[in-house]
Amino acid sequence: MTAAVGDAAPASAELAAPLLSVDRLSVRFLLGRKGKRGEVRAVTDVSFDLRPGQLLTLVGESGCGKSVLASALLGLLPGNARLRGAATLSTSDSDPVELVSAAESVLAGRVRGRLVGLVPQSSATHLTPVRTARSQLLETVRALRPGVDDPAGLVEHLAERVGLEPAVLDRYPHELSGGTAQRVAVALALAGDPPVVLADEPTTGLDRPLVDRTVDLLAGLAEEGRAVLMITHDLAAARRVATDVAVMYASRLVELGPADRVFADPWHPYTAGLLGALPEGGFTPIPGHPPELTALPDGCAFAPRCALLAGGGPERDARCTGAPELVRHGDRAVACRRPC
Ligand SMILES: Nc1ncnc2c1ncn2[C@@H]1O[C@H](COP(=O)(O)OP(=O)(O)OP(=O)(O)O)[C@@H](O)[C@H]1O
Ligand code: NI
């Protein structure tokens, strides 16, 4: 039995309505004047829901479109980007906002920081070098929550929430370790009390104990009822905290579902390949390379590597020539036409 993915309800948060509902979102970048030098298909027909309590990890090889997807949700793409589809934010205390068509004034005034908090990839470089962590937090709290009675107290509360020692607040960014700067970045993302948090590679450059502490912190945000989307290369970190997982390949989602079951029993050969490349999977890299996003094939973009994984040549299975729609099966979804 199959159905459209938009109505898939993740097992982890069955009853809650989605805070963010992404429906066939596509992003392409025009190259050259008016696209005369072609285009990059960075995100193609991506659909998923994000509910309170969910920590959805988005995984996939470098360049597959993960960051572009996050930037699209925040209206942070450059002028050569063209968007299609919809992404609707629905919170209990404000009218729904459709992010793809929203004006910049709405994104800046209502969405960024207030409804959607962003933990950026390189937190240390994101912080202003000449100001202490406390002064940056205070400024952000004052800007995002002008009505708050005691902004200085709220800054201390945020610091405690993310596990920062109070003394650290009076340090400058260059005096912070990578893990501490990451905590300041999470505190900044929480300053406007956003119901949705996007974290783009929040653990890059951290050693394992700090990776664990950072992802546990994000898991805590989901447990308190926020919806968290975490982009990561680190499948071990994803496995530790994710409630759900979305796997992206060459601009499309190829698998989506509850993390425990996707990791235990991957349905898409690409997901299986990613798991096989982990130490416990035997360090077997996926043969071949992803296609250029300027020249995506009409059928399944993974088909040549899929054939190599299966031990044959890169010939395309006849079933792999059609469009690889993400098709729902219960609370999981997969974009593969070969039976698994
Ligand atoms: N402004 C732009 N113009 C043209 N192409 C772009 C632009 N921004 C990003 N791209 C391309 O879009 C594709 C997706 O990039 P993206 O940064 O989303 O990858 P990613 O999955 O986040 O990779 P990584 O894991 O390395 O961060 C890449 O091929 C990238 O070169
Ligand atoms: Ni990225």
Interval 21-58: pLDDT, tens: 999 999 999 999 888 899 999 999 999 999 999 999 99
Cα 263–chain centre separation:
18
Instruction: Look at residue 39 and tell me if it is in a domain.
Output: yes
Atom of ligand 1 nearest to the CA of 251: 14
| Structural domain count, the chain | 2
In this prediction the ipTM stands at: 0.99
Q: Is 80 in the pocket of ligand 1 (CB under 6 A)?
A: yes
State in Å, rounded, how far the first CA of the chain is from the last one: 14
Instruction: Look at residue 8 and tell me if it is in a domain.
Output: no
pLDDT tens string 11-20: 444 568 999 9
Same-domain status, 174 and 220: no
* Rounded average pLDDT over 267-296: 92
Same-domain status, 146 and 97: no
Instruction: Look at residue 2 and tell me if it is in a domain.
Output: no
Same-domain status, 252 and 330: yes
Distance CA 28, CA 294 (A): 9
Same-domain status, 94 and 180: no
Token pair 């235990």: residue: 264
- Ligand 1 atom 29: residue of nearest CA: 63
% of the chain residues with pLDDT over 90: 74
Q: Is 205 in the pocket of ligand 1 (CB under 6 A)?
A: no
Instruction: Look at residue 11 and tell me if it is in a domain.
Output: no
Instruction: Look at residue 122 and tell me if it is in a domain.
Output: no
The domain containing residue 221 runs over which residues?
A: 17-115+194-339
Same-domain status, 308 and 174: no
- Residue at a domain's end among 172, 190, 208: 190
Same-domain status, 139 and 206: no
Same-domain status, 288 and 333: yes
Mutation test of ligand 1: which of 25, 31, 40 has the most ligand atoms closer than 8 Å to its C-beta?
40
CATH number of residue 257's parent domain: 3.40.50.300
Atom of ligand 1 nearest to the CA of 77: 1
- Ligand 1 atom 14: residue of nearest CA: 65
DSSP-assigned letters across all residues of 147-161: T-S-HHHHHHHHHHH
Same-domain status, 328 and 238: yes
Beta carbons within 8 Å of 309's beta carbon, 6+ residues apart: 269, 272, 273, 286, 287
- Ligand 1 atom 18: residue of nearest CA: 65
Distance CA 32, CA 264 (A): 44
Same-domain status, 138 and 109: no
pLDDT tens string 199-221: 999 988 888 888 898 899 999 99
Same-domain status, 100 and 202: yes
Atom of ligand 1 nearest to the CA of 64: 21
